[in-house]
Structure 1
Amino acid sequence: MQPVEVTAGDSPIVLGVPHAGTYVPPEIWADLNETGHKLADTDWHVDRLYSGLLPGATMVKANFHRYVIDANRDPAGVSLYPGQNTTTLCPTTDFNGHPIYLDGREPDEAEIEARRLAWHAPYHAALKAELERVREKHGIAILYDCHSIRSVVPYLFEGTLPDFNTGTNGGTTCAPEIEKAVVDVTAKAGGYTSILNGRFKGGWTTRHYGQPQTGIHAIQMELAQSTHLVSEDTPFAYDEAKADRLRVHLGAILQSLAELGVTR
């Protein structure tokens, strides 16, 4: 299994998909318990959700599961949200705080480093290369980092998550007009709720690559999975009708960003 899959396009938009992969190497699978085998924390069907929405968009997708290593975590292991519950570079619990490994089988430092080199590093090498290619062509690259999560996860946040959760780390990872373009669409999306820089302010990918002064802008979209799944539990099936309604708004976001990318 290749760590990363790249679909290269000619627009200013690069779609990052770090958490839709479900591949777990057999030797790691053997160490996971029943909770881990459920793979419940997958960003289910996010690649499908965004596929074909914007002609010419580049997509960089991690094929490995986040339980192998989380492609949206700092490789140095620094927490994204100090003082709040979250999962680590190589998670040992799920989003409910429950262990995902059989007793005594959690990865040690040497294993974490081996996974970083085998999986995390290739994904980010590919993402960096695509951002640089797009920036060279257009003078700008806009990284739109695609995510989803269950709408109710008490271990991570209180209450029910809004449908659209836009993150720019307090406006630091992209130009104001790029942030505004996204928020304008989500705020007007009938029947949906939205928030800017709420519980999800942008993960390591958004914060690491989002350097507007260099011509690379980054924004994270965390979708509540209730917007496009039949149920937020096994088998996490894709709901065509829900997804089609949602894709209208996602397409509007990407089109607006693409227009900004060619006019800035």
Structure 2
Amino acid sequence: MDKVVASAADAVADIQDGVTIAVGGFGLVGIPEILIQALLDQGATDLETVSNNCGTDGFGLGLLLEKGRIRRTISSYVGSNKEFARQYLSGELEVELTPQGTLAERLRAGGAGIPAFFTPAGVGTAVEEGGLPLRYDGHGHIAAASEPKETREFDGQTYVLERGIVADYALVHAWKGDRHGNLVYRASARNFNPPAAASGRITIAQVEHLVEPGELDPNQIHTPGIHVQRVVHVGPVEVGIENRTVRA
């Protein structure tokens, strides 16, 4: 039952080229940056990532992106990352844009064993009708586009079918965790971490505070240990500031 591993490097050592990785976080908050750095050092490439955003320039998944390690990403927000935009428009990166709430539910559904679900989000748009650019050819033309999605009417309203996501691995950040893999997130750092953790076949959690089994209040646990296979104690982590503004 003790799922603690000695280091972040040990935790990601078996991640192979070409796998799908769900990653928690929102902007710079709740990002498993130490695990991402360990993965960068490990060398895995040709990755497909699933995350709200693909990091920023020089931080989070942006580090993997800069080194050309990410082949494809499923995300809902792609701003604040110039390298992301460059790779997408040049045809180096495939991007599946997904509404933010839909992305969270796709991850949650995958973790719950639900293969697909119907949602009103995206009905009547390119999300439903297809045509969203997945990849450009580097000359301003669309090389690959999304396909139309199945719809169905319930009680007079149209819904679009979305598939659940099951990732090969998941990387998440938690405030507290015990040796059994039970996790507690802090404030807004909770964000996409719970659904990402649930969606991974092998979920790796970096935790700021490692406690013994029984020390966490069961009523306060956000991710039960059944979803987590490895725990790495990383100590306190400083959260970056994505956009700093200063009043005169």
Larger Rg: 2
Per the normalisation by structure 2, the TM-score is 0.26
More helix by share: 1
Q: Which has the higher strand share?
A: 2
